[in-house]
Structure 1
């Protein structure tokens, strides 16, 4: 039975870098994203470069009907998914009450509900087999409240805590669960979210997607519960535990307002 790593949000950024890092290690892939043309090109390139089998499925994971269709296909196939990488996610900036509800709902559906459903379905199959790994992608934003990024930060806090809880629940079944919490990363994510990171240009805090993927692979090899790429990012993740919550909210709000509300 063929074995695969399934990567969501694989058409760009950290998802693409993770897919390449896995292909480099000889892993067969199932790539999932909305952009068919991009996926087709990426699948062909990775298969040619690394000699692995790369399948792709076009799916908008924020649409429950499409997600159900994907899961049904996987259940009916003979694909054995030994690694699930839940990377797909979106960010949304600005004052919460001024955002279109449809945009907020999409963020919730994609960042939390789709990830949870994939963990339930594919993680359940892994547990029944007695082996497998899950890597959920959260963010440095998971460690503190984020005014003007309230929905995004809350969704990533959910991913962090959900993953840590699931890790304990599945430990006895032979399934490992890790959560990746990258800081600012050079990718299209911030541009798509309408955020301006010019103030961080050249900062050593900002890693490339390839660096994040490499450190994620090392963390997976060691079966780490929480993978935070870069010592600077790890330091920042600890600060909210040391500062009063009121001060954490104030600092986070000021930084997010400045970054999110200035046009790129």
Structure 2
């Protein structure tokens, strides 16, 4: 039976780069995204370039009912998933109380609830089989408060802590859980949120999605708890421990306000 790597948010950014990297290494894929046409194009390209099997599944993870339907369909088809990559996510920017509630609710549904639902259903199947690997995508933002991107930072903190905790629960059952915490990465992610990436970090510190994916897939073979690509991002992750929290809030808030508001 073919074993698949399932990748959410697979039509752009880090998700697409992860799918391309996995396919180049011979992995069969289940690609999940909102845009059917983009999924079909990417699936055909990966099949042609790598000779792997690629299944496309259209699902808007902001819709809880569609998430349930996706999971039901995967179980009904008895598709074996030995690598789950929960990459899909987005951010809002600006003042939380001035943003629409719908956009903030959708953020929590995609970044947290859909991720947890996939971990629960697919993780349960992995645990029953006694094997499997889960990769959840957080961010270095998950290590610190994020004024002006408050809900996003909180969601990524949740993903970080949830992943570390789930790792301990599933390890005795043969399932490995890792969490990816990239820093600033060139991606449509920022454009969609109206964030000026050139103000977020010096150009030399902005990584390409391809580099993040390559480092991540290389690391998965070692099954680490946390993957933080590049030394400067590791420094960012530990920086909250080096000073008082009030100062951290002020510094990060000033940065995020400058890049996240027009």
TM-score class normalised by the smaller sequence: over 0.9
Report the Cα distance in structure 2 between the residues aligned to 1:89 and 1:236, rounded to whole angstroms. Answer: 21
Q: CA deviation at 1:200?
A: 5.0
Answering whether residue 64 of structure 2 is matched by residue 64 of structure 1, we say yes
TM-score normalised according to structure 1 size: 0.98
User: Hey, what does 1:188 align to over in structure 2?
Assistant: 188
1:102-141 to structure 2, matched below 5 A, reads: 102-141=102-141
The question of 1:198 aligning with 2:195 is answered: no
2:11 aligned residue? 11
> Structure 1 CA distance, aligned partners of 2:43 and 2:178?
25
Q: Is the 8 A contact 2:34 2:60 kept in 1?
A: yes
- Equivalences for 1:66-81 in 2 at 5 Å? 66-81=66-81
Distance 1:67 1:194 in 2: 27
> Which residue of structure 2 aligns with residue 174 of structure 1?
174
Give 1:137-148 correspondences, 5 Å limit: 137-148=137-148
| Per-residue Cα deviation, 1:140-170 (whole angstroms, up to 9, x for no partner) | 1001000000000000000000000000000
3-state SS in 2 of match to 1:204: helix
Shift of 1:2: 1.6
Residue of structure 2 equivalent to 1:232: 232
Please say if 1:33 is aligned against 2:33.
yes
Q: How many angstroms does 1:218 deviate by?
A: 1.7
CA offset at residue 204 of structure 1? 2.0
Give me the whole-angstrom Cα distance separating, in 1, the residues matched to 2:219 and 2:164. 15
Offset of residue 243 of structure 1? 1.2
Question: For 1:97-132, what per-residue CA distance to the aligned partner results, in whole angstroms no more than 9, with x for missing partners?
Answer: 001001110000000000000000000100000000
Q: Residue 205 of structure 2: SS of its match in structure 1?
A: coil
Taking only aligned residues, the RMSD between alpha carbons, in angstroms, comes to 0.9
State how far apart, in whole Å, the 2-side matches of 1:183 and 1:237 are. Answer: 9
Secondary structure of the residue aligned to 1:246 is helix
Structure 1 unaligned residues grouped into runs of 5+? none
Following superposition, the deviation at residue 203 of structure 1 comes to 2.1
**Corresponding residue SS for 1:4:** strand
How far apart are residue 61 of structure 1 and its match? 1.0
CA offsets per residue over residues 206-259 of structure 1, 9 Å max, x none?
100000001111221111100001110011111001111111101000000001
Return the alpha-carbon distance in structure 1 between the equivalents of residues 100 and 247 of structure 2. Answer: 29
Cα drift, residue 201 of structure 1: 7.0
The separation in 1 between residues aligned to 2:3 and 2:199, in whole angstroms, is: 43
201 and 177 in structure 1: CA distance in 2 versus 1, 3 angstrom threshold: closer
- 1:219-258 superposed matches below 5 A: 219-258=219-258
In the alignment, what sits opposite 1:93?
93
Whole-angstrom CA distance in 2 between matches of 1:145 and 1:199: 19
Could you list the runs of 4 or more consecutive aligned residues of structure 1 that deviate by over 6 angstroms after TM superposition?
none
Length-normalised TM-score, structure 2:
0.98
Runs (5+) with no aligned partner, structure 2: none
Report if the CA contact (8 A) 1:143-1:157 is conserved.
yes
Q: Secondary structure at the match of 1:214?
A: helix
Distance in 2 (CA, whole Å) between partners of 1:12 and 1:155 is: 20
